[in-house]
Structure 1
Amino acid sequence: MASDCNPKKFHIVMFPWFAIGHMTPFLHLSNELAERGHQISLLCPKKAQIQLEHLNMHKDKITFHVLPVPHVEGLPVGTETASEIPMFLTGHLVTAMDLLQDQVKALLQDLNPDFVFFDFSHWIPELAKEFGFKSVCYSVVCAASLAIALVPGLKKAPKTEDSALMEPPEGYPSTKVLLKKHETQKMSFLFMEFGKGITFYERLTTAMRNCDAIGIRSCRELEGEFCDYIGGQYWGKPVILTGPILHEPVEVNLEDRWKNWLDKFDPGTVVYCAFGTQVILEKEQFQELVLGFELTGLPFLVALRTPDGISSIEEALPEGFQERVGERGVIYGGMVDQPAILGHKSVGCFVSHCGFGSMWESLMSSCQIVLIPFLGDQILNTRLLADELEVAVEVERDEIARFSKEGLCNAVLCAMDKDSKVGQTIRKKHQRWMKTILKPDFGSNYMDEFVQQLNRL
């Protein structure tokens, strides 16, 4: 049970970026704060409210306030969340969010909160000065991602043909981050326009420079050096950590269709794969992926969005694939209860895009971890897990970031082989981190300290 270290109760407004991968952790944080008696107002689009409502564990304390997302030229009519559009249209959705500034201002004036938590709406600190609340720029990605975004010279050309070693400036954590050539190109999104007249980098740094505190969904055990570096870059501004805010995976509530299928297999033999709500593979890479799972000879469950330009998952499958794999392989084009899947005794390997939520869920499960990152923060999360913590195997890619069925198969078998040196290393180190993260009161202690630091603000 969470302890309540302070009698003062706050009214906190949550205003996350309109992506399910951002709104969900904001709601998880809301649940933790509501459990401690604080009142929460969560601002989001109507479609997001429908998707998130079932995760509201404290309906008497957490209230959704629906924001009507305006139409912006270039966006499909009716778009409200990032999962509805391809990545290249995301900037238009950010523009739509910025156009809500007057409505948000009126709502905040009416709600009169003590705090507003935000991530991409860099204009919130200006409203804080006007209305007298405190603003917290809350990051749902790892501290390493924020720290690397601040590194000068990120746009420099690779030093070698194969990789680009970003030289850390003075005061940067001793760990150097090695990005492969194709990954360096992916990081260029930081300096592209992200909303009308502003780059992603400018949006991020403006938010962190002007807010009252920087909140990060992480823990010092994992990223203490990076958190200190970030605070140092902003003149000692408070960097307050919530911990991972995830619960230990359990088998309850797993849908019968998945439980009945998983129950057919021996413990630790099933490979589960999911890439979140935003990653959409091209048909060729989708087929390489499923053929790679076929090559492993292991049972597998793949939950992915339908490939780009294809009407259904079934249409995208390689010829004769389903007949060859039979019941040992399931390809599903929808969402599943990931923590419940990972908690099932038959699941022994998690192939992930290493989004921050999936990163924590993988660390807290007993599954072996295999990673195929696609976006900037996923790449940096992968560097943390595969290179620094050595708890995961990364699938090899070519210079244009494509993977092969053989590469995927080798990574899975390498991770699951108890006799291989790599398999033994990642298993041992993963178990060590699990013990740390799953200690009794690990998460609640972080949250109690987090609330105390809000009081200090």
Structure 2
Amino acid sequence: MMPCAAPRSQQHNRARKQQLIVSSASTTTATMTSQGQSATLGRGDAENDAGGSKAAHFVFVPLREQGHLIPAVDTALLLATHGAVCTIVAPPSTAALVRPTVDSARRSGLQVRLAEFPLDYATAGLPEGADDGDSIPPMQMWNYYRAMALLRAPIESYLRAHAPYPTCVVSDFVHPWTTELAANLGVPRLTFFSMCTFGLLCQHNLERFHAWDGVEDPNEPVVVPGLGRRFEVTRAQAPGFFRGIPIPCWEEFADYVERARAEADGVIVNTFQEMEPEYVAGYAAARKMKVWTVGPVSTYHQRRTTLASTLASRGLRTSAIDPEECRRWLDGRAPGSVVYVSFGSISQADPKQVVELGLGLEASGHPFVWMLRNADGYHEAVRGFLRELEARVAGRGLLVRGWAPQLLVLSHDAVGGFVTHCGWNSTLEAVAAGLPVVTWPHFTDQFLNEKMAVEVLGIGVSVGVTEPLTYQAVAKEIVVGRGVVEAAVRSVMGDGEEAEGRRRRARALAAMARAAAQPGGSSHANLLDLVERFQPGAAGGAAASEV
């Protein structure tokens, strides 16, 4: 068994990180192992590889949860469209989700690769195949993170043996062990975040300024310091990454994650500069490192006509409804008349909430598409209610029992609003589609994303949930009544001045998102900068750690 405590990184100062970046951008063939001994870097036949030694080679180490995995893969694909070589490393269960998208990209000529590494379940104390479902059980997450950390050595061996040699590691922030991977390879490491910089800065400032000191009640609001505007949040809503779990291992892991984040050579974020410029600048200044905003990365699927079919399959899961059937259903509805409802890949409404949500949608009078991720998992009374509801709203309501082609739905002209759990992936897809949202957060950063949508961007209406609903030690019955659901949907979809104002702001944001992704836009420029900065021999490599 691996020890509870995570090992400390070997990179403890900015000078050392700049040295690594310089060495990765040169022809150096040696680096230092974590024990400080010289090691030869086998670059293989990199000169003869299709990518050549002149192309930047990004190695992506994503997290398997869809809110993390989907934007990480999309970012790799976007970098590949600008000439980079991208390798995505993952265990088999994650690779299976990614493979169709990667294969499609390869057929279009992009240099993107997928490398599988089996997990050592036994050594990590993880039940065989525990990572093969829709989500890993919460009680097994610690073991899963340990199993992923055990992949460092085989990934390193693979990267040394297969050309071209990597020039940068891009890892999800929950993989702090990639600090050692990048250091051993002698290349820089960037942290990847699938959340907005507003949320990142809130979390950072709450810890940096010790905002929770002396606050005993987890539901007592405090003002987030250092933002220039007044935003209140409770500790239950923003405990910090992996904080607040009453198990010592998690607190140690949280410290390990924070050290790795502080020692990174830069940050890639799925957002765009024009939407939150003050928070992008604020986070870069607080972290004293470069922040590359590259979003919305979902635009990859919308602007590459050769891969137009991926618009329907971006969720990495097989849709429970034929995408063409879904498209035809939407084609028969008036523009802006349909509300889409989804709580993402992890959160799920409890039985009572399903009934209240369904009745509220029915009472709203608006056509709706409702994704019920695990509808068959409810008891017969709830399944019976859903059948009866479906019969009553036939022709007006479309219930999808399983995964829905979300990006396709949100991109359709018939859709005018989105009831969302406020995962950042979904929130940013709504922004890119120009849609106002009904906000219904369930856990962690979703409460901060709600504030972003409602208080910063002015495109959201909250249902009033103030306590986490998911990953709680004791289940809480927090039911949003049918009347609240109906009122929120009517507010977002209505014709009043407030509703029109939200729609105007949402459309303006969508225009900014499109501009950011196009040549001359901020996200497009940042992608080009990444590809240029991290190519072999790039003179500007050392500047990656500069603000």
Does TM-score exceed 0.5, indicating one fold? yes
Q: 1:238 aligns with which of 274, 281, 290?
A: 290
Q: Closer, same or farther in 2 for the Cα pair 1:447/1:312, shift >3 Å?
A: farther
Q: 1:201 aligns with which of 226, 235, 254?
A: 254
Matches within 5 A, 1:57-72: 57-59=104-106, 61-71=111-121
Q: 1:129 is matched with which residue?
A: 183
Q: C-alpha distance in 1, partners of 2:460/2:377?
A: 32
Q: 1:210 is matched with which residue?
A: 263
User: 2:105 corresponds to which letter in structure 1?
Assistant: H
Q: C-alpha distance in 1, partners of 2:349/2:390?
A: 19
Q: 2:245 is matched with which residue?
A: 192
Identity of aligned residues (%): 22
Matches within 5 A, 1:390-401: 390-397=458-465, 401=478
Q: 2:509 aligns with which of 433, 442, 445?
A: 433
TM-score (norm 2): 0.73
Per-residue deviation, 1:387:
0.8
Q: C-alpha distance in 2, partners of 1:108/1:196?
A: 30
Asked if residue 140 in structure 1 is aligned to residue 194 in structure 2, the reply is yes
Per-residue deviation, 1:303:
0.9
Taking CA–CA contacts closer than 8 Å with sequence separation of 6 or more, which of the two structures ends up with the larger relative contact order? Answer: 2
Q: CA RMSD in A?
A: 3.1
Per-residue deviation, 1:239:
2.1
SS in 1 for 2:202: helix
Q: 1:288 is matched with which residue?
A: 356
CA offsets per residue over residues 55-77 of structure 1, 9 Å max, x none?
A: 22532511111121232677553
Matches within 5 A, 1:55-454: 55-56=101-102, 57-59=104-106, 61-71=111-121, 76-80=127-131, 83-111=134-162, 112-119=165-172, 120-150=174-204, 151-152=206-207, 153-156=210-213, 164-168=221-225, 172-179=226-233, 183=237, 189-192=242-245, 196=249, 198-199=251-252, 201-234=254-287, 236-247=288-299, 253=309, 255-306=323-374, 310=378, 315=383, 317=385, 320-397=388-465, 401-419=478-496, 421-439=497-515, 440-441=518-519, 442=521, 443-454=523-534
Q: Closer, same or farther in 2 for the Cα pair 1:290/1:203, shift >3 Å?
A: farther
Q: Closer, same or farther in 2 for the Cα pair 1:278/1:74, shift >3 Å?
A: farther
CA offsets per residue over residues 224-260 of structure 1, 9 Å max, x none?
A: 33333333333x2222222322217599755222122
* Contact 1:268-1:367 within 8 A present in 2 as well: no
Q: C-alpha distance in 2, partners of 1:45/1:352?
A: 29
Mind listing any 5+ residue stretches in structure 1 that lack a counterpart?
1-6
CA offsets per residue over residues 350-381 of structure 1, 9 Å max, x none?
A: 11112121111101113332111112111111
Q: 1:4 is matched with which residue?
A: none
* Contact 1:292-1:408 within 8 A present in 2 as well: yes
| Structure with larger Rg | 2
User: 1:25 corresponds to which letter in structure 2?
Assistant: P
* Contact 2:419-2:440 within 8 A present in 1 as well: yes
Asked if residue 40 in structure 1 is aligned to residue 116 in structure 2, the reply is no
Higher deviation after alignment, 70-79 or 93-102: 70-79
Q: C-alpha distance in 1, partners of 2:84/2:224?
A: 43
* Contact 1:13-1:113 within 8 A present in 2 as well: yes
CA offsets per residue over residues 96-139 of structure 1, 9 Å max, x none?
A: 21232332332333343111110221122223222211111111
User: 1:146 corresponds to which letter in structure 2?
Assistant: L
* Contact 2:218-2:234 within 8 A present in 1 as well: no
Q: Closer, same or farther in 2 for the Cα pair 1:76/1:182, shift >3 Å?
A: same
CA offsets per residue over residues 323-370 of structure 1, 9 Å max, x none?
A: 322332222222122121112222111111121211111011133321
* Contact 1:18-1:82 within 8 A present in 2 as well: no
Q: Closer, same or farther in 2 for the Cα pair 1:275/1:88, shift >3 Å?
A: farther
TM-score (norm 1): 0.87
Mind listing any 5+ residue stretches in structure 2 that lack a counterpart?
1-52, 313-322, 468-475, 542-547
* Contact 1:94-1:194 within 8 A present in 2 as well: no
Per-residue deviation, 1:158:
6.0
Q: C-alpha distance in 2, partners of 1:317/1:88?
A: 31
Q: Closer, same or farther in 2 for the Cα pair 1:102/1:154, shift >3 Å?
A: farther
User: 1:242 corresponds to which letter in structure 2?
Assistant: V
Per-residue deviation, 1:314:
6.8
